[in-house]
A and B are shown apart, each in its own frame.
Chain A
Amino acid sequence: MRAYVHLALAGFRRYSTYRQAMFAGLTANVVFGMLRTAVLVAAVGAAPVAGYDAASAVTYVWLGQGLLAFVVLWGESQLSERIRTGDVVVDLYRPWHLQAALLAEDVGRAAYAAVVRLVPPVAIGALFFPFRWPEPHTWPLFAVSAVLALVISFGMRFILNCTTFWLLDSRGVRNMYEVSSGLLCGLIVPLAFMPEWARDVLWATPFPYLIQAPIDVFLEQGPQWTVLALQAFWAVVVLAAGNLVLSRAVRKVVVQGG
């Protein structure tokens, strides 16, 4: 256990060394936040749409801009690269559980991202636009929801990366994920804007639990505890699936010689 705590701390330190990249990413987040605010406020300004008035639209946009870097919506490729180059041999050889070790590191990364990527966009939204703050009792629920979103996102990225064991190059799969995840998880437009059938389909997938769910918890839309329970369910499902994929991959490498 101590090893994993240590790995989380190392994850925090690793990402804190890339300050320029952090600033560049943050700037991009903020610029897009401005654009999205302008569009969405124009849409809901006259009359609320699907429960979104101007203040909740602004909150939705800036929280989403922060969360996307916290949970990492794009298909990062660290593990995939290590598989491609064969360096994963070193990881497989260590006396640790690889998935748990990478999750620990990602939690450390996210802790850093929470400070430098999640808080600033939210602060900008709150300072310059009408913003909807939640009731005090919602704060801890939101924190849990954000962490569960992170775990689900990690689990999905882990599976995505593990496909490299079979495909040798997972860029195609990752690109597909990147293109689709923004829409599917409710980052680009609130899922509430979509037709009912689409909503039903999407909420049956893990995607909305990455972005829309924590935002809903923050905005106090819908039953918060149910959302948290479903997030926990999906976290367990994707981690278990990842673990299965990893053990199949290790079998393939170890027994078939990859």
Chain B
Amino acid sequence: MIEVRELCREFTVTTKVGRLRRARTKVRAVDSVSFDVAAGEAVGYVGPNGAGKSTTIKMLTGILVPTSGHVRVAGVDPSRARRDLARRIGVAFGQRSQLWWDLPLRDSFDLLRSIYRVDARDHARRLAECVELLDLSGFLDRPVRQLSLGQRMRGEVTAALLHGPELLVLDEPTIGLDLESKERLREFLADLNAQRGTTLLLTTHDLDDIERLCPRLVVIDRGTVLADGPLEALRAEVVPERVLVVDLEKPSEPLTGIRGVVDVRIELGGLRQHLTFRKDETTAAAVIAAVAAQADVHDLVVEEPEIDDVVRRLYARR
């Protein structure tokens, strides 16, 4: 569905030097990025601000021409066939609206039907589905400017889907939404991907989106791909440590000297202890047994690394 090879994009930035002189420097926003997305996949495209995410998205949708490299989306070169491509893929920007601000939500959908030349019956069927699954019926006749952010975002996603796209590109779809709205949107997108087979590519800063929606993750920073693979594999590769948190019956000295434990941190004067161990050198069971031999354990829990942690370490690794 998406084929990206050695993709580069440079921008010329002018900075003021002295009173009148300006220096022009070339900045590589995207530097030799390659990845593929197969039809039906759901891929998260993550990276810190300024990493080149939006620039990539713009090149995928044809609103930006690559400086060099090769892009194919749904079999076509996006910048040459922008209008054609627009009919075949859906794009929703979390921070930009494609709805008509002063008109009722329903009118925007009708207008989009004319602009995308969608068959009336297909349009009605897709709209009915979105209305039901995203629960739009309560505000279909309300002007867009009066909608809450969560309602508007549901409208945006619907607007991107009414022409039945094979690929849905979402640029920070859950930005600013409350937990419930996020969850509802994620559920809908997960269903869309699983049942309809619509390919999803989403950029986000909310790593819960990834955890919930995307079996695969492409991490980008400063224009280059840092990692590409299933979330689980990245987790194991990047963060080989696990943390065992034990609550003891009585305060105790730090429980050092256990094989495979690389760090011990104590809390509450030794009543709670955090033991960091390497997964490749020992097992949680062995560490727990060793702790139980040294002290009376009241409670314990093994912490998996948070996805934030995984990504942070990836960024730090460069």
Q: Which residues of A contact B (CB under 8 A)?
A: 2-3, 6-7, 10, 13-14, 17-18, 86-87, 89-90, 92-96, 101, 253-257
Contacts of A14 in B (CB 8 A): 100, 102-103
Give the shortest distance, in Å, between A251 (CB) and chain B (any CB). Answer: 9
* Residue in A18, A89, A96, A257 with the greatest tally of chain B CB atoms within 10 Å: A257
Interface assignment of B259: CB less than 8 Å from any CB of chain A: no
Q: Is the CB of A89 within 8 A of B103?
A: no
Interface assignment of B117: CB less than 8 Å from any CB of chain A: yes
Contacts of A94 in B (CB 8 A): 86, 98, 115
Q: Which of B58-66, B206-214, B274-282 touches A?
A: B58-66
Q: A92 touches which one: B63, B103, B110, B114 (CB < 8 A)?
A: B63
Q: Is the CB of B107 within 8 A of A13?
A: yes
Contacts of B64 in A (CB 8 A): 253-254, 257
Closest to A254 in B: B65
**Given A90-B98, A256-B12, A10:B65 Cβ within 8 A:** no
Chain A: interface secondary structure? helix
Interface assignment of B111: CB less than 8 Å from any CB of chain A: yes
Can you identify 27 A-B contacts, CB atoms within 8 angstroms? A2-B117, A3-B111, A3-B115, A3-B117, A6-B111, A10-B103, A10-B107, A10-B111, A17-B102, A17-B103, A17-B143, A18-B102, A89-B63, A89-B93, A92-B63, A93-B62, A93-B91, A94-B86, A94-B98, A94-B115, A95-B83, A95-B84, A95-B87, A253-B64, A254-B65, A255-B65, A257-B9
The 10 tightest CB contacts between A and B, nearest first, are A3-B114, A6-B114, A95-B83, A95-B86, A3-B115, A90-B98, A14-B102, A257-B11, A255-B65, A87-B96
* Residue in A253, A254, A255 with the greatest tally of chain B CB atoms within 10 Å: A254
Q: B97 touches which one: A6, A87, A93 (CB < 8 A)?
A: A87
Contacts of A6 in B (CB 8 A): 110-111, 114-115
In Å, the complex CA distance between A254 and B84 comes to 16
Contacts of B97 in A (CB 8 A): 87, 90
Interface membership of chain B positions 87-123, coded 1 if the CB is closer than 8 angstroms to chain A and 0 otherwise = 1000101001110101100010011001111000000
Closest to B10 in A: A257
**Given A10-B107, A14-B102, A254-B79, A93:B87 Cβ within 8 A:** no
Q: Is the CB of A89 within 8 A of B96?
A: yes
In Å, the complex CA distance between A253 and B79 comes to 12
In Å, the complex CA distance between A17 and B107 comes to 13
Q: Is the CB of A95 within 8 A of B103?
A: no
Interface membership of chain B positions 219-251, coded 1 if the CB is closer than 8 angstroms to chain A and 0 otherwise = 000000000000000000000000000000000
**Given A95-B87, A253-B63, A257-B11, A90:B111 Cβ within 8 A:** no
Give the shortest distance, in Å, between B131 (CB) and chain A (any CB). Answer: 20
Interface membership of chain B positions 41-85, coded 1 if the CB is closer than 8 angstroms to chain A and 0 otherwise = 000000000000001001001111100000000000001001110
**Given A3-B115, A89-B58, A254:B63 Cβ within 8 A:** yes
Contacts of B82 in A (CB 8 A): 93
Interface membership of chain B positions 1-12, coded 1 if the CB is closer than 8 angstroms to chain A and 0 otherwise = 000000001011
Contacts of B143 in A (CB 8 A): 17
In Å, the complex CA distance between A35 and B312 comes to 69
